Structure 1
Amino acid sequence: MTTNTNTTTPAATTPVTGERADLLVALEKQRHFLRFTTRDLTDEQAGLRTCASELCLGGLIKHMTSGERSWTNFIVQGPSAMPDFAAMTEADFARRADEFRMLPGETLAGVLAEYAEVARRTGELVAALPDLDATQPLPRAPWFEAGAEWSARRVLLHILAETAQHAGHADIIRESLDGAKSMG
């Protein structure tokens, strides 16, 4: 069986191949599952909490948009692209919590469009990176080992894992909302 490993990102002019293509294809598959949970929903439904969690479908997509943007900026800019989590106040964390909910005036279409734009920029970055092994020191945060560094590859794998995890959360939220499932 032959697998086509050539893929072209929407804005790329040269094909992305090999490991980079594999990473982008895997990430796009998980993004699809996350976006698919919002099919045929109204803005109101996208903002509903369906279980004890604070999570809603629109908020999960907002969170992944913010997270993917921050992590891809980290690949290029290092820890200065990320918040200094160790120095964040309660007010800072309260503002960050807004990325997990649909706020007044936000629409599902708008949230999905912003996510698509971040995905496009991620594809461009992956295509242009000179070296997936290039590392950056992690930002200060209680959950990171002090002095640790992550390669661009590891950051992309982290984005992929987070997207997959949140796609699973979204599937549960959607099934609780109206019985619709991503699979099965």
Structure 2
Amino acid sequence: MDDSAAKTNLHSYLRHERAAVLAKLDGLSEYDVRRPMTTTGTNLLGLVKHLATWEARYLGEVFGRPFPEPLPRWDVEEERLADLWATEDESRAEVVERYQRVWSHSDATIEALALGDTGRVEWWGADDVPLFNVLVHVLAETSRHAGHADILREELDGAVGTDAEAMAAAGHDPAFWVERRERIEAAARAAGR
């Protein structure tokens, strides 16, 4: 596979994962998109804000193409953790629209550079990191957080799937999932004896 095809393929997967993350917000209340669902406070809108911050940093700042809006500092604890949740003054629309602006900025970087072009990832302590490595990292992180979003959304209302249409057409009624969960629980208990 040539570099152009590889870049196109990676970029396509990144676009898919970005859309999958945003689809997890569809149809939820303001409370539910912000609701801390884990001990550490992980929540859907916080995942979107976090992805926007770090994609802007990796596919902007790293390659000398800084995102034109302020970003929380990664090396200041209070600011670094601020990207994991939305304050009451930050609307869902603001967080989502910022993520979409980051996409445009990142897409321009991806399109302008060759996979072998290098940048400096200061928080890795690394110079000369190729776009290929950074793009794979951003894709992996986005996919990882899309998986977190899958689980959070399922916990909130049982919706599953990678996009809004798939979530709407899941095809199983609640009784199916209750029975399935009970079967899995029984197997876990039996194995744990």
Q: TM-score, normalised by structure 2?
A: 0.72
Q: Distance in 1 between matches of 2:62 and 2:127?
A: 14
Report the Cα offset of residue 148 of structure 1. 5.6
Q: Distance in 2 between matches of 1:58 and 1:160?
A: 19
Q: Distance in 2 between matches of 1:50 and 1:83?
A: 23
Q: In structure 2, what residue type is equivalent to 1:178?
A: D
Distance change in 2, residues 1:132/1:114 (3 Å): same
| SS of the residue 2:26 aligns to | coil
Alignment match, 1:170: 149
Identical aligned residues as a percent: 26
Aligned residues: 156
Report the Cα offset of residue 51 of structure 1. 2.5
Distance change in 2, residues 1:35/1:84 (3 Å): closer
Q: Which one has the bigger helix percentage?
A: 2
Pick one of 109, 127, 130 that aligns with 1:151: 130
Distance change in 2, residues 1:102/1:28 (3 Å): same
Q: In structure 1, what residue type is equivalent to 2:131?
A: A
Which blocks of at least 5 consecutive residues in structure 2 are unaligned? 66-70, 163-169, 171-193
Q: In structure 1, what residue type is equivalent to 2:21?
A: L
Residue 51 (str. 1) matches residue 38 (str. 2): yes
Residue 115 (str. 1) matches residue 115 (str. 2): no
Report the Cα offset of residue 69 of structure 1. 0.1
Pick one of 110, 114, 118 that aligns with 1:135: 118
Q: In structure 1, what residue type is equivalent to 2:103?
A: A
After TM superposition, which residue ranges in structure 1, 4 or more long, deviate above 6 angstroms? none
Report the Cα offset of residue 147 of structure 1. 4.8
| SS of the residue 1:150 aligns to | strand
Distance change in 2, residues 1:133/1:83 (3 Å): farther
Q: In structure 2, what residue type is equivalent to 1:62?
A: K
Alignment match, 2:18: 31
Which blocks of at least 5 consecutive residues in structure 1 are unaligned? 1-16
RMSD: 2.4
Report the Cα offset of residue 149 of structure 1. 3.7
Pick one of 67, 71, 77 that aligns with 1:93: 77
Report the Cα offset of residue 125 of structure 1. 1.5
Q: Please tell me whether the aligned partners of residues 68 and 118 of structure 1 are also in contact (alpha carbons under 8 angstroms).
A: yes
